[in-house]
Amino acid sequence: MSGVRFRAGGRTEIGSHRRANEDHLLIDSTVGLCAVFDAGGSWGDGPSRAGAVGADIIQRTIREGLEGSPDPRTLIERAFRTASETFRTQPDEDGCAWGASVALALVRSDRVFLSWLGDAMTHRVTGERIEPLTRPHTAWNELVRRGAIDDTNATDANPNLRNVLIYVLGGEVPAPLEIISLTPLPGDRLILTTDGITNHIPDSTILTACRTISDTTTCAEAIIEHAILAGSRDNCTCAVIAFEGPETPFRREPPRKWWQLWK
């Protein structure tokens, strides 16, 4: 299935203030697929199932499509558009529209293909540094991209635009869909997070977790716990993908609690 060796782990938590967990975590190591979902856009009394439904559609579309070995970019775009169209044509039980942010990684051969909608984020940890690979699809960032405002000195712009999402599953999907591809180096990690995490902790906290904790699930737990301790009132979901080279075996140490490792 894949030319690179990887392992993936993750966790999703309701957090300390939400009545329900509307995030969703998808890890399918058999096809090299990981994704995090943050539901929104359902204003009924019950929790939105958009994350779980979107995950099911995307996972099924990719698994079925891989049987014909299509281009990964084409497959990811098909999965996103299928989920979005389903959301638009099939409202939830309350008759409300569905919507969800998503960040996705698909490992094929020796490369990883990444895409996203909304404000779910993907970071890459390589060596001793961390870099964001995605930017939230907000009205603010779109104006920055077009050169309409200067992100470093935008005193006249409406700051609320930072919270307005212009692309989500169930809403508008850009054409073409933005897809990043990269060849991971041995020791690299990809971190997929919902905004309940990235809005509350700095990138340095994610870097420290990745460089301190080898087990991917425990690493995700640590990142979530630090977001909650930092004051996050949102659902928190994190997926961690660790890569190794063919000659560099994974350490098979048992997972330990994050607080036993944090320095």
| Confidence at residue 195, expressed as pLDDT on a 0 to 100 scale | 95
Which residue(s) pair with 217 in the sheet? none
| Confidence at residue 92, expressed as pLDDT on a 0 to 100 scale | 60
Check whether 47 has a pLDDT greater than 60: no
Q: How many residues does the structure list for the chain? A: 263
| Confidence at residue 45, expressed as pLDDT on a 0 to 100 scale | 44
Kindly state whether residue 255 falls inside one of the protein's structural domains.
no
Average pLDDT, the chain: 86
Kindly state whether residue 256 falls inside one of the protein's structural domains.
no
Highest mean pLDDT, choosing among 19-33, 47-61, 158-172: 19-33
Highest mean pLDDT, choosing among 50-54, 141-145, 150-154: 50-54
| Confidence at residue 161, expressed as pLDDT on a 0 to 100 scale | 77
Domain count, the chain: 1
Kindly state whether residue 251 falls inside one of the protein's structural domains.
no
Residues 6+ apart with CB under 8 A from 249: none
Kindly state whether residue 27 falls inside one of the protein's structural domains.
yes
Cα–Cα distance measured from residue 81 to residue 243, given in angstroms and rounded to the nearest whole number: 29
| Average pLDDT over every residue of 153-173 | 79
Torsion angle in degrees (nearest 10) through CA of 106, 109, 111, 116 = -10
Kindly state whether residue 260 falls inside one of the protein's structural domains.
no
Give the neighbor-by-neighbor strand order of the sheet with 33-40.
23-28, 33-40, 99-108, 111-117, 179-182
Check whether 88 has a pLDDT greater than 80: yes
Check whether 24 has a pLDDT greater than 90: yes
| Confidence at residue 160, expressed as pLDDT on a 0 to 100 scale | 73
Kindly state whether residue 181 falls inside one of the protein's structural domains.
yes
Check whether 109 has a pLDDT greater than 80: yes
Check whether 253 has a pLDDT greater than 70: no
| Confidence at residue 59, expressed as pLDDT on a 0 to 100 scale | 97
| Average pLDDT over every residue of 65-72 | 84
| Confidence at residue 157, expressed as pLDDT on a 0 to 100 scale | 66
| Full residue range of the structural domain in which residue 97 is found | 5-246
Cα–Cα distance measured from residue 229 to residue 133, given in angstroms and rounded to the nearest whole number: 25
| Confidence at residue 28, expressed as pLDDT on a 0 to 100 scale | 97
DSSP string, 13-57: E--SS-SS--EEEEEETTTTEEEEEEEE---SSSPP-HHHHHHHH
Record the pTM.
0.88
CATH code at position 47: 3.60.40.10
Residue 161 gets which letter from DSSP? G
**Prior bond to 176 cis, omega within 30?**
yes
Say which residue, 203 or 142, is predicted with more confidence.
Answer: 203
Kindly state whether residue 231 falls inside one of the protein's structural domains.
yes
Query: Could you tell me how far CA 17 lies from the centroid of its own chain?
Result: 22
Kindly state whether residue 263 falls inside one of the protein's structural domains.
no
Check whether 132 has a pLDDT greater than 50: yes
